[in-house]
Every structure is written in C-alpha cells, then in structure tokens.
Amino acid sequence: MSKLKLKIVIVGAGNVAWHLAKELQKNDQEILQIFNRSVKPAMTLARKLNCDFTTRLDALNTNADLYIIAVKDSAIEQVSESLVLENKLVVHTSGAIEKDCIKHERNGVFYPLQTFSKEKKLNFKNIPFCIEATKSEDYNTLMRLATLLSPIVYNINSHQRKVLHVAAVFACNFSNFMYMIADDILQKEKIPLEILQPLIKETASKIKKLKPKEVQTGPAVRGDKSTISSHLNYLEEGAHFDIYKILTETILDKNKNEL
Amino acid sequence: MSKLKLKIVIVGAGNVAWHLAKELQKNDQEILQIFNRSVKPAMTLARKLNCDFTTRLDALNTNADLYIIAVKDSAIEQVSESLVLENKLVVHTSGAIEKDCIKHERNGVFYPLQTFSKEKKLNFKNIPFCIEATKSEDYNTLMRLATLLSPIVYNINSHQRKVLHVAAVFACNFSNFMYMIADDILQKEKIPLEILQPLIKETASKIKKLKPKEVQTGPAVRGDKSTISSHLNYLEEGAHFDIYKILTETILDKNKNEL
C-alpha cells in the first residue's frame, strides 16, 4: 500500500484543532488550510503550521481530501451545513455528537479520546482514536490516518461513543474536579497539593491491573461512620459537604447491596 | 550518628501493618512481634517476617522501642489503652485520628499517606510520611525511621493531618469511585475500561505541573448544556444521574462565580 498523504482542511482552531493539526503535519499529512470564524486563533495556528487560513466560507479550499471539524459540540451541525463541498469526506472530532449530524454523504468521526489543554504537550501514541464512517472506503482512510498517529484505534459507533463520553466525564472531568476540591481544602490550611501527588498517581495506576471496585479504600467502603461524620463536620455546609455526602452514601449503598 | 536499629512491635495485621512491617524489616529494623486479635492474619504476617506473634495481651512483648498500632480507626483508642507499657513510644498510622487518642505519655503518629491494597506492591520511596510526636526525642526517632523508608517526610500536626485526610478522600477514594462508575457504565455496553486508561493517566499527570482548576475540561466547564442534558438523559435516574448532576452544577456554579 502506498504511503498515506492526505490534503486536509482543519475547521476550528481550539485545543483539539491545535494539537491534531500539528500532529498530522508531523506525520506527513498536508494541512491545506485552517478555517475558523475568528481571525486571531486561525492566523496563530496557520503560522505555526506555515499554511493558509481563512475566516470566509467563500474562500474555503475545496480541494482537500478530508475536512476535520474540530469546533465546539453545539456548533458542529451548523458549521458542517455551511461547508459546500462535493464528494468530500467530512468528519468531526467530538465524543458527544452523532456521526449523522454531518449531512454530507461521506461523513465520519475521528475522535481522539483524550483531555486536551493547549499548555500541556501530549504523546499521541497514548491516545486511543475512535473512528466511524458511513462509507467503508472512508472508514479505511480514517483507520489508516489514525494508525499513523497512534497504535490504539477502535471501531466505535455513535451510540457506543456517546456512552464512552459519559464514562470519560466521570473518569476524567469529575476525577479532576475531585483533585480541585482537594486543592481547595488544602489551600485553606496552606498545605500544597504536591503532598497528595503520590497518592493521586498510585490511585490512577492501581486500576491498570485491578478493577476500581477491588481497590476502593477509605472511610466509606470501610463503613467507618465516625471518620465520615468527623469529615462532614469539618466540611460544614456547602458544595463540598453535599458532594462528600452523596458519594459516601452511594459507596455505602453499593456495599450494602453486595452483602 | 549511629545506624538506626529499633525493636518494633506491630499491632494489627491489615493492609497497612502488612506493607509497613515488611518495609521496616527490609530496612534493617527488628520486628519483635505481631500482636493481633485474630490468629490467622497475625500468623500469616509473622511467618512472612519470620518473627513472633501473639493474640493475647499478657503475652505482649514489652521490650520493644516502638509500638506501631495499625488497626482500624475506631479501634485505635481502645487498643492503645489495653497496651500496658512503661516509658515506651506508641504511635498509630491513621490519617483521621488525633495523636492524643493514644494515652501513653510518649505518643505519636506515623502516617503513610498512601492507598494500600494487599494485592498491589508499593514503592515506599514515593510515599509521603506525616509524623508527629509529643516528645521531641520521639519526634526525632520517628523522623529518622521515616527517612529510612522514604525521602518525603512532613511534620504535620493532628489538625493538619485531619484536613489532609479529608482532601485525600476526595483525591483518592472519590476519584477511584469515579473510575468505578465509568467502569459500570462501560460494562453495560461491553466496552472495557482499558480504553479510558490513557485518559485517566493523563488526567492524573496533568496536575503535576498545572493546577486542577487550570486543566478542568468537559461539558460542565464549557457550559455545554446540550451535551449535559444528553448525558443526563442517558443516565436516566439513580445514583449515577444524581452524582453527574451535583458535580456538573457545582462546576457550573464555580465558573459563574468567577466571571
């Protein structure tokens, strides 16, 4: 098989567009153009890539093989409708949006299952790609493209991807929010979050080999009511109190149901 | 300073006792005896260490330099009261219990801030030790002992330790519970949790350099209401729904207050 060399237009210039465009270029794909509504991020990214950019639909480059829409979820449908293209593969990169939100006949999804922040470099070799396409030749193209970037590629349909996205919100967004609450609590006592780093690392690494259920520790799973009430007492009222309470009660309930 | 060589009695035979006793012995400390109410775990651990064990208070070895109580939080006070010892250093290993729960004049705390499961090996060099003692010479002994096991040793008083423990419940126990919910959700669709491993790892590692607040991603922090309601719709009712809702609302609120 000949080496893959696609001409690509990136629609959007946010976190995902940023990381993905750079990685695609690094892997010998040709980024023809960045298309984005506001000029500044488009220009910044285009300069980084040394490619063309536009903010106007009538200046959209229509000669690409692949159009990657990496804009916020609520804009995907509208943005895709505005792209007037003939017989072109158009994909989005979202975990939450159905493939068929893109009305082009040759549509698909190219979803990198990772958390992106501009300030944080990523090793794409550790990013699972979830791909989907209406036409099998497009699926094959996306599969080849994903495999260029990462060894972890899954065939995931829109329903599975939605479920995966809900699970990812718990595993990533909500666990990060737990770190944020821990940081808030420690800040009041002028203790740096650094002291919890080894614990956070160990907690995340434990579940590589064991199920989260098998390694649940702490006062709730031990049913240690005196520590629980001392903690609630310390938290007093407010959001942290409510969150501690509902999570502890759910852990206690799950345990009880298994006895 | 001469090399530290303490004679130690370990009270308890659970997760912490197990890991700690082995590590102390590995670092040339002499485990004289395991004292535990039930015979089987005491015997198993004592065999592993090739040391004495007893389940009877009247057979407690009273010649040790240090007594480490590693039993469940609710039993610490009672167990310590039952230890009849003269001028001996007695410590516990708990994050939640005050130092002065131990009524011996020479009391202290030797708290390894980590999550322990018997099935999972630990590198003690990555465990922060939080120590505290009433008498300064005992503090020095505990400091020397902790430094033998780990380069990360903190001087933490009982109030700080309690706060640290509350924060650790969020950062460790509750984030593991988030992984467990993610696993539950994926299991229904027969998707393995493995697919989320890179995301979980990246989420935990991001906060080494950046604050959790700076790297919060996901529909809640973006205020993406359509994805949020689609997720809630998928979760229907029950504990996962309630937890998704309260965490999302708290993230939304925090964001609003900062605008």
Average pLDDT for B31-43 = 96
CATH number at residue A98: 3.40.50.720
Answer yes or no: is pLDDT of A1 > 70. Answer: no
Structural contact between residues A155 and A133, judged by C-beta atoms closer than 8 angstroms: no
Residues making up chain A, counted from first to last: 259
Average pLDDT, chain B: 94
For residue B46, is it within any domain? yes
For residue B1, is it within any domain? no
Structural contact between residues B65 and B80, judged by C-beta atoms closer than 8 angstroms: no
How many domains does chain B fold into? 2
What is this model's ipTM?
0.87
- Nearest CB partner across the interface for B115, out of A193, A202, A239: A202
Query: Side-chain half-sphere of A109: how many Cα atoms within 13 Å?
Result: 28
For residue A205, is it within any domain? yes
**Torsion angles phi and psi, residue A9, rounded to 5:** -110, 130
For residue A210, is it within any domain? yes
Range with lowest mean pLDDT among A107-111, B1-5, B79-83, B175-179:
B1-5
Please answer yes or no on whether A167 and B188 come within 8 Å at the CB atom. no
- Nearest CB partner across the interface for B212, out of A152, A180, A205: A180
Question: At which of A156, A182, A210 does a domain end?
Answer: A156
Short-list A172, A217, A215, A193, CA closest to B204: A172
Q: Which domain holds residue B209?
A: 162-258
Domain match, A111 and A50 both: yes
Structural contact between residues B93 and A180, judged by C-beta atoms closer than 8 angstroms: no
pLDDT at B1: 67
Average pLDDT for A218-239 = 92
Residues of B in contact with A96 (CB under 8 A): 219, 224, 227, 230-231
Token pair recorded at residue A162: 């939605």
Domain match, A219 and A150 both: no
Give all strands (DSSP E) within B66-124, no chain letters.
66-69, 89-92, 107-112
Please answer yes or no on whether B191 and A216 come within 8 Å at the CB atom. no
Distance CA B227, CA B225 (A): 6
For residue A87, is it within any domain? yes
Residues of A in contact with B242 (CB under 8 A): 246
Average pLDDT for B143-161 = 95
pLDDT at B52: 97
Answer yes or no: is pLDDT of A228 > 80. Answer: yes
Residue B30 to chain A, least CA–CA distance (Å): 27
pLDDT at B259: 52
pLDDT in tens, A4-38: 999 999 999 998 999 999 999 999 999 999 999 99
- Nearest CB partner across the interface for A203, out of B172, B195, B216: B172
pLDDT at B15: 87
- Nearest CB partner across the interface for B199, out of A172, A199, A242: A172
pLDDT at A204: 95
pLDDT in tens, B198-250: 999 999 999 998 999 998 989 999 888 989 999 999 999 899 999 999 999 99
Provide the 3-class DSSP secondary structure of residue A128. Answer: coil
pLDDT at A259: 52
Token pair recorded at residue A208: 């590589």
Residue A63 to chain B, least CA–CA distance (Å): 33
Please answer yes or no on whether A212 and B180 come within 8 Å at the CB atom. yes
CA dihedral A97, B195, A245, A228 (to 10 degrees): -170
Question: At which of A114, A131, A156 does a domain end?
Answer: A156
For residue B43, is it within any domain? yes
- Nearest CB partner across the interface for B114, out of A198, A230, A242: A198
Answer yes or no: is pLDDT of A118 > 80. Answer: no
Domain match, A44 and A113 both: yes
Structural contact between residues A246 and B243, judged by C-beta atoms closer than 8 angstroms: yes
For residue A178, is it within any domain? yes
**For chain A, what percent of residues have pLDDT higher than 90?**
85
Structural contact between residues A66 and A102, judged by C-beta atoms closer than 8 angstroms: no
Please answer yes or no on whether B218 and A173 come within 8 Å at the CB atom. yes
Average pLDDT, chain A: 94
> Tell me, what amino acid is at A106?
R
**For chain B, what percent of residues have pLDDT higher than 70?**
98
Average pLDDT for B172-196 = 95
For residue A1, is it within any domain? no
Please answer yes or no on whether B171 and A182 come within 8 Å at the CB atom. yes
Q: Give the CA radius of gyration of chain B.
A: 22
Answer yes or no: is pLDDT of B151 > 90. Answer: yes
Average pLDDT for A76-101 = 95
What are the DSSP calls for chain B, one per residue? -PPP--EEEEE--SHHHHHHHHHHHHTT-EEEEEE-SSHHHHHHHHHHHT-EEES-GGG-----SEEEE-S-GGGHHHHHHH---SS-EEEE--SSS-GGGS-SSSEEEEEE-S---TTS---GGG--EEEEESSHHHHHHHHHHHHHH-S-EEE--HHHHHHHHHHHIIIIIIHHHHHHHHHHHHHHTT--GGGGHHHHHHHHHHTTTS-GGGG--SHHHHT-HHHHHHHHHHH-SSHHHHHHHHHHHHHHHHHHHH-
Domain match, A215 and A97 both: no
Average pLDDT for A118-133 = 89
Question: At which of B156, B171, B195 does a domain end?
Answer: B156
Domain match, A143 and A185 both: no
Residues of A in contact with B173 (CB under 8 A): 216-221, 251
**Torsion angles phi and psi, residue A201, rounded to 5:** -65, -45
pLDDT at A111: 96
Q: Give the CA radius of gyration of chain A.
A: 22
Domain match, A138 and A190 both: no
Nearest CA in chain B to A183: B167
Residues 6+ apart with CB under 8 A from A224: B72, B73, B74, B96
B87: left (phi over 0), alpha (psi -120 to 50) or beta: left
Please answer yes or no on whether B215 and A120 come within 8 Å at the CB atom. yes
Residues 6+ apart with CB under 8 A from B10: B17, B20, B21, B31, B33, B34, B35, B45, B68, B70
Residue in the structure block whose two tokens are 């609520």? A74
Answer yes or no: is pLDDT of B182 > 80. Answer: yes
Domain match, B58 and B127 both: yes
Domain match, A131 and A176 both: no
Residues making up chain B, counted from first to last: 259
Please answer yes or no on whether B166 and A235 come within 8 Å at the CB atom. yes
Domain match, B143 and B105 both: yes
Nearest CA in chain B to A156: B191
Please answer yes or no on whether A167 and B214 come within 8 Å at the CB atom. no
Answer yes or no: is pLDDT of A157 > 60. Answer: yes
Residue in the structure block whose two tokens are 């202290």? B108
Structural contact between residues B214 and A180, judged by C-beta atoms closer than 8 angstroms: no
CATH number at residue B224: 1.10.1040.20
pLDDT at A119: 72
Distance CA A54, CA A33 (A): 7
pLDDT in tens, B105-116: 999 999 999 888
Domain match, B24 and B152 both: yes
Domain match, B128 and B168 both: no
Domain match, A219 and A148 both: no
Q: Are strands A30-35 and A52-54 parallel, antiparallel or unpaired?
A: parallel
A243-250 LR contacts (CB < 8 Å, sep 24+): A243/A181, A243/B174, A243/B246, A243/B247, A243/B250, A244/B166, A244/B169, A244/B170, A244/B174, A246/B242, A246/B243, A246/B246, A247/A220, A247/B174, A247/B177, A247/B243, A248/A219, A248/A220, A250/B177, A250/B239, A250/B243
Residues of A in contact with B126 (CB under 8 A): 198, 201-202
Residue A34 to chain B, least CA–CA distance (Å): 23
